Structure 1
């Protein structure tokens, strides 16, 4: 978020990218995703995405367990 704010403040895009060790493409991709969100909104979005990934993993494991039980019961 700080890098996005620096670029919005008038700094050239290449400067924060160079300091942050990421490409211009990564910067623009992130800016398109985050846009004008506040820092707390972006943080909350990251937390939700992390929780979503964990839930997807749990669901996949549950489906594997169900399939294993079906095979074992045959």
Structure 2
């Protein structure tokens, strides 16, 4: 999996820099990023601070863990059902 070029804290810092009045073209040139990336970040992370971003990251990790746990339990349940069908047949 590809690692991100910009960390969450750096994205927040770039967005704050724009809020302080730095123009988008100047900022994109300075940080070596495209305009589209900036506007996507602003739509996704605008108004967030680093603690909120950290919380979102933790919730996503927990959600992935729970989805994996559910998938494993679902497979076990299907195996049990197949075993019951085989015994009763």
- Please give the TM-score of this superposition, normalised by the length of structure 1: 0.71
**5+ residue gaps in structure 2?**
1-11
Q: Partner residue of 1:36?
A: 47
Relative distance call for 1:64 and 1:42 in structure 2 (3 A) is same
Quick one: higher RCO (CA 8 Å, sep 6+), 1 or 2? 2
RMSD: 2.1
Relative distance call for 1:15 and 1:73 in structure 2 (3 A) is farther
**5+ residue gaps in structure 1?**
none
- Please give the TM-score of this superposition, normalised by the length of structure 2: 0.62
